[in-house]
Structure 1
Amino acid sequence: MKVVSLVPSITEALFDLGLTEHEIVGRTKFCIHPEEKVKNVTIIGGTKNINIDKIKALQPDLILANKEENIKEQVEALMDDFKVIVTNVENIEDNYYLLKNLGKIFNKEDRAQLFNLKIYEVLNEAKVNSDIKVAYLIWKNPYMTVGSDTFIHKILAEIGFENIFKDKTRYPEIQTEDLAKADIIMLSSEPFPFKEKHIEELKEFYPDKKIMIVDGEAFSWYGTHIAKCENYFKEFISEVRSAKI
């Protein structure tokens, strides 16, 4: 079966489940994992600007898309000629069924179940067992955060954090003063590449708060990615616990 993936985390999951470059024939430029394998797969544009002609030339048997990451009109255009599955992953339960379904489609059910079990184990071990109030920033100029209907929010809640913007939806713009109630301000490494200098900028407003860079992939990439973040989450939780909150 020839597959085109329009979603970075799904591309990674397909390789993790055991598919090869001969089966995954197309991917977006943001599909970067696993690096040594995706480099051999044809790039068909970005997640928001798919090159439909390139996809048609590949003649895939199946295209995998995502409700949030891809443009509806572009996906619908592909449906005229190809079988397209549109995924929608908002929480850990959705992720469980995503992997289960991918396992069923590609006859990799046992491997999919192993990844699902590992994800539950990783998140269970990462619990902070307290209601530490956090703000998770994904963008700068303007600052943007995450609302309650996002996968990132669900991961934060799963670990035991309280998102101070849980009354918001999607990715709202906020002001610096809106961060006042947070015990910890988390600056994601993606999509905006927050660096140490951005910590210093916020420290001018909140010198006593814990402000830290976090691995955006660990919090936002669904599929199999969290299963491989065990060591990261252990170090992350250790740093949180050592903070004087």
Structure 2
Amino acid sequence: MSLRIVSLVPSSTETLLALGAQVVACTKYCEQPHIAHVGGSKNPDIGAIVDLGPDLVVLDREENRIEDHDALVAAGVAVFVSDVTDLATAFAVVDDLAAAAGVDATGHAVRVPSTVNVTRPVPGRSTAFVPIWRRPWMTIGRATYGASLLDALGFDVLQFGDDAYPTVDLVDVADAAPDVVIVPSEPYEFDDGHLSEIADAMPAASIVRVDGQDLFWWGIRTPAALDRLARELAPPSTH
């Protein structure tokens, strides 16, 4: 009998479903309208989760709050906590989730391979600025999954301070002179006016919109996301 699982991590929800696990509830951000929702990643309804009587609740160190983890543990609920910070852990977490969910990932048609070969879209390496928020402007640091993925594609994310997701000033970004500004579709929805603001500050940089889920959702989608991003970030002449 398969385990009844509540997933509070969109990436894990997508991966668990692809592996055939029984996900009985998830967050409203998991984009699974046919599955019951139990709040958001940062504000889950603990009471509703406990009432479901799940065999396992899946969380992520970065995505979820420690107080929600502790509340679930105090209620006697078994939890699994992922910690994905780079491509290596994004591949490993698929097997980890399969083991925790009690499903067999061996030979699965959509199982993430242990290695992936990616053809870099540009000769050598390029520097990149990746805005993820505005007012204040925020970006990703190199010790993040998104930066690791871009590293595999030949891009060095500009580092500002020691934080994984630092606030930045566009003047400082302009001074660092990135080759490209990679604008994801989430978590912030940048419009054309925002992109014009970036272009005015960094006229020499190319600006490329990408799918934020491909850049930040890890697990089962990682190999195909790498392929899509490689195409999207390739110079126009190589498309």
Fold match by TM threshold 0.5: yes
CA distance in 2, matches of 1:230, 1:134: 16
**CA 1:185 to 1:230, structure 2 compared with 1: closer, same or farther past 3 Å?**
closer
CA distance in 2, matches of 1:208, 1:87: 39
- Per the TM alignment, residue 184 of structure 1 is displaced from its structure 2 partner at its CA by 0.6
DSSP-derived class of the 2:116 partner:
helix
Q: Which runs of 5+ in 2 are unaligned?
A: none
The answer as to 2:82 corresponding to 1:79 is no
Structure 1 contact 99–112 (Cα < 8 Å) conserved: no
What is the correspondence of 1:45-194 to structure 2 with a 5 Å cutoff? 45-80=39-74, 81-105=76-100, 106-111=102-107, 115-117=111-113, 120-121=116-117, 124-165=118-159, 168-180=162-174, 181-194=177-190
**CA 1:238 to 1:223, structure 2 compared with 1: closer, same or farther past 3 Å?**
same
- Per the TM alignment, residue 113 of structure 1 is displaced from its structure 2 partner at its CA by 8.5
Amino acid at match of 2:4: K
Aligned to 2:26: 27
CA distance in 1, matches of 2:133, 2:87: 24
Q: Which runs of 5+ in 1 are unaligned?
A: 33-37
Structure 1 contact 138–146 (Cα < 8 Å) conserved: yes
- TM superposition score normalised by structure 1: 0.87
Q: C-alpha offsets along residues 102-158 of structure 1, whole Å, 9 cap, x if unaligned? A: 22333222246953228724xx13553422111111011111011122111111112
Between stretches 205-214 and 58-67, larger displacement belongs to 205-214
CA distance in 2, matches of 1:114, 1:42: 24
Aligned to 1:7: 9
Amino acid at match of 2:204: D
How many matched pairs? 233
- Per the TM alignment, residue 16 of structure 1 is displaced from its structure 2 partner at its CA by 1.1
Q: C-alpha offsets along residues 12-51 of structure 1, whole Å, 9 cap, x if unaligned? A: 00111123xxx2111000001xxxxx22211000000010
- Per the TM alignment, residue 215 of structure 1 is displaced from its structure 2 partner at its CA by 1.4
- TM superposition score normalised by structure 2: 0.89
- Per the TM alignment, residue 216 of structure 1 is displaced from its structure 2 partner at its CA by 1.2
**CA 1:70 to 1:104, structure 2 compared with 1: closer, same or farther past 3 Å?**
same
Q: C-alpha offsets along residues 168-192 of structure 1, whole Å, 9 cap, x if unaligned? A: 3211111111222201111221100
**Counterpart among 217, 221, 225 of residue 217 in structure 2:** 221
CA distance in 1, matches of 2:43, 2:115: 31
DSSP-derived class of the 1:90 partner:
coil
- Per the TM alignment, residue 206 of structure 1 is displaced from its structure 2 partner at its CA by 2.4
**Counterpart among 200, 203, 208 of residue 199 in structure 2:** 203
Identical columns (%): 27
**CA 1:241 to 1:221, structure 2 compared with 1: closer, same or farther past 3 Å?**
farther
Structure 2 contact 145–216 (Cα < 8 Å) conserved: yes
CA distance in 1, matches of 2:138, 2:55: 38
**CA 1:177 to 1:42, structure 2 compared with 1: closer, same or farther past 3 Å?**
same
**CA 1:146 to 1:71, structure 2 compared with 1: closer, same or farther past 3 Å?**
same
- Per the TM alignment, residue 83 of structure 1 is displaced from its structure 2 partner at its CA by 0.6
